[in-house]
Structure 1
Amino acid sequence: MRPLPPELAKIAREELNEIPERVQEDLVILRTWIYQQRYLYARTSTDFLIAFLRRCRYSLEQTKKRIDDFFTFHTKCPEIVSNRRVTEKMLSINRLGLQYFPEFPRCSDHAAIMITRLNCCPKRYHMRDVMAYTAMGMELIALENDNAAIVGVIQIIDLSNLDVEHASQLGGGLLRKWWYWMNDCCPLRINATYCLNAPKELQNWLGFLRTLRVKMRPQFFILKSLEELYEHIPQKCLPEEYGGANGHMHECVSYMEDLLKSYRDYFEDEVNYGTVEHLRHGEIMPYEAEFGAEGSFRKLIFE
């Protein structure tokens, strides 16, 4: 484990129940459990398992379930995760500045800030590609950014460039699967989500997002202006493109490109992980419990 600065070590101990003297014991328990599951092929590296332990506040049972869900999703939702490789296309998506993944910039409560912008051409980059890139980035941030892994992430979704074609690509259950990954599989905790600059013609689509907030659990806000955002996040904590003093977006793009390249072998190795469902016995598969045996989605009731 990387040594933590005193303020993060205090948060990890008091809020996540992280006791350094007990971490090795927890890792042994998790690795033993993984090896005993004939259907489960999961990563067992220290950094990977600690990211999930922190996400689950060191509850071993919750950690087991999230790891199971994570790799079941890889098997059951290839349309989102099958192209998670560091290709030139994935690097070109990063260079568009779709995501602000900070190395060190953080919110005043020590949480990391993640800004999502859909400033890409939907004819060139399908939303599946954007989701794959985002999932890769979030996984790496969970492994590399202690603020994000311990305190969590404040997510800002800037919808300035979202159009009808972007929204149409989220049909067929793709959006629902993505939120399922974010909530039940992702090793990062999303503390709150703030939506900015929603086009009027997409209000119904955004209303659909709001129906998912109970499932997502974190707070979900639809804001009309940057000034309204400043009421939730101190202005100085935001990047300069959003009126703050916390670095530039392009700095995070460069950081993420270097990080993706350094993890090229990590993602190439993903073909070795997942689940073999016919070997699973005595329980409902996480994916089927959520979506049904054929992957069909439960009916959503709009209010």
Structure 2
Amino acid sequence: MESLLVVTSEDKKQILKYYNVTENNIKEDVAIIQTWKEKQPHLPPTLSDDFIEKILLRNKCRVERTKQKLDNYYSLRGHNKNLIRDFESIVPSKHVTIYLPMPNLTPNLERIVIMKIMNPSPIAYDIYEVIKVNLGIEELSLQHDYSVGIRYLFDFSGFTLNHLLRINPLPLGKHINLIEKAYSQRILGLELINFPSFANKILALMKLVLRPKIYERVRIHENMESVYKVIPKECLPFDYGGTLTPIAEQLKKWDQAIEDHHDFFVENYNNVSMEHLRPLESKPNECFGVDGTFKNLAID
């Protein structure tokens, strides 16, 4: 994973500086969270310091928020097991879409994630399969990555109205909620390129499923020169005029990473909150766990 999610010692130093904390601060906070966790019988009996540290950093080193997000990770995944099933079977290079984190952090310590359709056939487009590859890669990112958040580059090349019609807003909304509330991912921006003529319909869907704060971070770019003002070339693949290796080569490495983590995915599928053991004073977080509704998206 070191070559897929590169985090140098200088990157780590700058991230701690960004949050105005020291390594000792992190160790002290992790110890506090471990003590709290021992009083939560519904959570797994053993959580590594490293895993807690990853979630602590994704939550701006705020202890109480980290406790809630740890609870979310196990409870929300348990409530949405249909969305986290079969991660071990993912083959990123052969998938209908890509969810591809770039190996290098930006100068702002952000992780860039490229999303794009690879198979243009609308019949092959299944929103549940799209969600599976996205969350599977997020699962690995949570275990290994350091960054201050992610910035998406959405490439709408090949995306048609027929694709849009196959998107059910309900699972899409749950997917985004899992990204933010379970995997503690900070969405810093959504950069859209090759936007189609039916842009208003895509934006309507985004407005439906994104929190207002995140929707305000959506930007439409007319060309790559505009993108380079936000994402430097050294953080983009050759396919987009960048200096990193082509997307196809990077996907092959992710194929291997998924294969290498086969046992982890199989075991982690059932590593969820045991709600029958939850203390009475510890109420489950009502952040879109099981049901939830959306207004219908009208597409004329």
What residue in structure 2 maps to residue 295 of structure 1?
291
Runs of 4+ in 1 over 4 A off after TM superposition: 298-302
Letter of the 2:221 partner, please give it. L
2:178 pairs, out of 178, 181, 193, with 181
Shift of 1:29: 2.8
Shift of 1:31: 2.9
Tell me the secondary structure at the aligned position of residue 110 of structure 1: coil
Shift of 1:193: 1.3
Higher helix proportion (structure 1 or 2): 1
Q: Summarize the Cα distance change of 1:300–1:67 in structure 2 as closer, same or farther, 3 Å threshold.
A: farther
TM-score by length of 1: 0.82
Gap regions ≥5 residues in structure 1: none
Letter of the 2:284 partner, please give it. M
What residue in structure 2 maps to residue 262 of structure 1?
260
Shift of 1:208: 2.4
Tell me the secondary structure at the aligned position of residue 189 of structure 2: strand
What residue in structure 2 maps to residue 156 of structure 1?
153
What residue in structure 2 maps to residue 45 of structure 1?
48
Letter of the 1:60 partner, please give it. V
What residue in structure 2 maps to residue 128 of structure 1?
128
Identity of aligned residues (%): 22
Gap regions ≥5 residues in structure 2: none
Contact residue 51 and residue 187 of structure 1 kept, 8 A: no
- CA distance, structure 1, for counterparts of residue 45 and residue 194 of structure 2: 39
Tell me the secondary structure at the aligned position of residue 173 of structure 1: helix
What residue in structure 2 maps to residue 273 of structure 1?
271
Q: Summarize the Cα distance change of 1:283–1:24 in structure 2 as closer, same or farther, 3 Å threshold.
A: closer
What residue in structure 2 maps to residue 114 of structure 1?
113
**Please, which moves more after superposition, 8-17 or 211-220?**
211-220
Shift of 1:235: 3.5
Spell out the pairing of 1:1-303 with structure 2 (5 A cutoff): 5=8, 7-41=10-44, 44-84=47-87, 86-87=88-89, 90-91=90-91, 93-96=92-95, 98-103=98-103, 105-120=104-119, 121-124=121-124, 126-145=126-145, 149-171=146-168, 173-201=170-198, 203-211=200-208, 212-216=210-214, 219-280=217-278, 281-282=280-281, 284-286=283-285, 289-291=286-288, 295-297=291-293
Q: Summarize the Cα distance change of 1:18–1:264 in structure 2 as closer, same or farther, 3 Å threshold.
A: farther
Shift of 1:154: 2.0
**Please, which moves more after superposition, 154-163 or 196-205?**
196-205
Q: Summarize the Cα distance change of 1:230–1:200 in structure 2 as closer, same or farther, 3 Å threshold.
A: same
Shift of 1:17: 4.0
Letter of the 1:47 partner, please give it. D
Q: What are the superposed Cα offsets for residues 168-214 of structure 1, whole Å, 9 maximum, x if unpaired?
A: 34315111111111222224332211122222235313222035242
Q: What are the superposed Cα offsets for residues 248-283 of structure 1, whole Å, 9 maximum, x if unpaired?
A: 112311221222122111111124311233443235
Q: CA RMSD in A?
A: 2.9
Shift of 1:39: 2.4
Contact residue 69 and residue 181 of structure 2 kept, 8 A: yes
TM-score by length of 2: 0.83
Tell me the secondary structure at the aligned position of residue 188 of structure 2: strand
Tell me the secondary structure at the aligned position of residue 140 of structure 2: helix
Contact residue 115 and residue 157 of structure 1 kept, 8 A: yes
- CA distance, structure 2, for counterparts of residue 205 and residue 69 of structure 1: 29
Say how many residue pairs are matched.
289
